[in-house]
Amino acid sequence: MKKIVFLSTFFFCFVWISYGQTDNTPVLGKSTGFEIPDHIKSRKAFKRAEWFSTQRQFPYDTFPVCTYAREVTNEIQKIKATRSQGDAYPNWESVGPEGFHYPVGNFGVVGGRVRAVAVHPTDPLTVYIGAASGGIWKTIDGGQNWQDIGHDLPSNTFGAIAIDPNNPEIVYAGSGESILMTNFNIYPGTGLYKSTDGGLNWDVITDGVGNVTFFSDLAVSPYNSNVVVASLCQGSTYCDMNLSNKGVWKSADGGVTWNRCLDVLFPFDIAFHPTDPNILYAAAGGLWSPMDGFYISSDQARPGCKATMAWD
C-alpha cells in the first residue's frame, strides 16, 4: 500500500513539475513566447485572476477555446432538456444600468463592459449594445428601457454590432470580444449572428469566420447591403490564440459566406469611406506584430475579396 501511495505521489509531482510553472508565476501560453511583466505579477488584481485561471488550466498553462465552446454547448443542451421536462425557466430582472460599489480596493462604482454600440440610422432613440459578458440589448426610447434580445443565443459575449444603413431591420452581431495584453475575463464567441427583424430572431453564421470567434468590429456598406466587412482578433492571453481566422473578412452576399481580404493579426477598426464606395479603411495594432498600421483598400467595389495585395 505504501508503495502505491509513493508511486502515485511521485507521478503527480512529476506531472506538476513537467507542466506547471517553476517560479509560481504563469506563463501566458506556450505559444505566446513571453511572460507577464513583474510589475503586473505583483498586483493583487493579477493574483486574484491568477488564482481563478490557473486552477482551470492544470496541467497546461492554457485552456483551448474549443474546449470552452464545447462545454458551453453541453450546458445549453442541459438547459434545453430541463425545459422539455416542464421545469419552470428562471425569471431574471435587470438591476442596471446603475453600477455598484466594488467592495475591494478603490475601484469606486463599476459596471460591466459594453464592447459594441450601434445606433439606428434614422431613429436615434433605437440603439443596440453588446456586452462583454451580458448578451445583446436593445432600447427604443433612448436608453430609458432595455430589452434583452440575445438571451437564447449560444453566446453571451459580443465585441461588435452593425446595422444595415439601407435596411435597419438587418442587424449583425459578432460574438466574442477582442482585447490585447493580460485580461483574464475575455471569453470566446461562437460565430456571427444576423437578424432580419430588428433583433427578434437570430441566425448564426460560421462559414469562413469559424465557430470560435473574437470580433473587434463590423461594418455594412452604405452603398451595397450585400457587402459586409468584419475584423477578428484575439481574446484573452490565457486562451489558446492559435486561431486561423484573425484578419479582416468580407462578405459579398449579406454575411452568408466570407473571405479574408486582409491577413493581419490584430485588426481592431474598419470603416467605409463616406462618399467613395471603392475605399475601405482598416486599422491594426498590437504587440509583436510587424503588420501593425493603417490600411487602405481602393477596390472594394468588386464583388469578390482579394488578398493582402489589394491593400496599400
Q: 168-215 pLDDT, tens per residue?
A: 999 999 999 887 655 566 778 889 999 999 999 999 998 888 888 999
SS3 148: strand
Instruction: Using pLDDT thresholds of 50, 70 and 90, give the confidence band for residue 152.
Output: confident
Highest mean pLDDT among 57-71, 96-110, 251-265: 251-265
What CATH number is attached to the domain comprising 192?
2.130.10.10
Q: Is residue 187 part of a domain?
A: yes
Q: Is residue 35 part of a domain?
A: no
Instruction: Using pLDDT thresholds of 50, 70 and 90, give the confidence band for residue 120.
Output: very high
Give me the pLDDT at residue 197, please.
96
What is the domain extent for residue 141? 114-310
Per DSSP, the residues of 231-275 read: EE----TTB----S--EEEEESSTTSS-EEEE--S-EEEEEE-SS
Question: Mean of the pLDDT values across residues 266-278?
Answer: 91
Tell me what the pLDDT averaged over the chain comes to: 76
Q: Is residue 66 part of a domain?
A: no
Share above pLDDT 90 across residues of the chain, in percent, rounded to a whole number: 34
Instruction: Using pLDDT thresholds of 50, 70 and 90, give the confidence band for residue 26.
Output: very low
Q: Is residue 51 part of a domain?
A: no
Contact 128, 163 (CB under 8 A): yes
Residues in the chain: 312
- The answer, yes or no, to whether residue 136 has pLDDT greater than 90, is yes
Share above pLDDT 70 across residues of the chain, in percent, rounded to a whole number: 65
Question: Mean of the pLDDT values across residues 235-259?
Answer: 81
Closest CA to 148 of 175, 120, 173, 129: 129
Q: Is residue 47 part of a domain?
A: no
Q: How many domains does the chain have?
A: 1
Give me the pLDDT at residue 48, please.
79
Give me the pLDDT at residue 104, please.
59
Give me the pLDDT at residue 7, please.
45
Amino acid at 245: N
- The answer, yes or no, to whether residue 302 has pLDDT greater than 90, is no
Identify the weakest region by mean pLDDT among 10-19, 75-84, 177-186, 241-250: 10-19
pTM over 0.85: no
Buried b (16+ CB within 10 A) or exposed e, 116-152: bebebeeeeebbbbbbbebbbbbbeeeeeebeebbee
Q: Is residue 108 part of a domain?
A: no
- The answer, yes or no, to whether residue 112 has pLDDT greater than 80, is no
Give me the pLDDT at residue 10, please.
42
Give me the pLDDT at residue 97, please.
54
- The answer, yes or no, to whether residue 89 has pLDDT greater than 60, is no
Q: 209-235 pLDDT, tens per residue?
A: 888 899 999 999 999 999 999 999 876
Q: Is residue 80 part of a domain?
A: no
Identify the weakest region by mean pLDDT among 28-42, 50-64, 268-282: 28-42
Q: Is residue 98 part of a domain?
A: no
Give me the pLDDT at residue 73, please.
78
